[in-house]
Structure 1
Amino acid sequence: MFSILWGVVVVLFAFWALGLVLHIAGNLIHAVLLIAIALAIYNFLKVRDV
C-alpha cells in the first residue's frame, strides 16, 4: 500500500509540473497534489509511530 501511494504522488507531481509549464487544469491539479502530499506525510508518520 505504501509503494502505491508513493507512485500516485510521483504521477501527480509529474502532472503538476506539466500543468505548471503548459498552464493546464489551473488550480485543480495543485489542490489534488497538496492532498496527495498531505496523505503521504500522514502515512509516513503513521508507519514510523507503529
Structure 2
Amino acid sequence: MDLLRWTLIFLVIALVAAVFGFGGVAASFASIGKILFFVFIVLFVISLFFGRGGRRNRL
C-alpha cells in the first residue's frame, strides 16, 4: 500500500502545481504518478496470482 500512497502524493503535488501555474512541474509529477500507479497495478495482479498458492489446508 505504500506505493499507492506515493502515487496519491504525486497526484496531489501535480494538482497543486497546476493550480499555481507551474505546467512543466505539474506534468512531470503527473507522469511520475502514472508510472507508480501502473507499477502498483502490476504488482497487485502478480500478488493475486502467486498469493493463492501458499494457502492450503493440511490435515
Give the TM-score normalised by structure 2.
0.56
Higher helix share: 1
Kindly report structure 1 stretches of 4+ aligned residues shifted beyond 6 Å. none
Q: With the length of structure 1 as denominator, give the TM-score of the two structures.
A: 0.62
Unaligned runs of 5+ in 2: 51-59
Larger radius of gyration: 2
Give RMSD over aligned pairs: 1.9
Unaligned runs of 5+ in 1: none
- Ranked by relative contact order (alpha carbons within 8 Å, sequence separation 6 or more), the top structure is 1
Aligned residues: 47
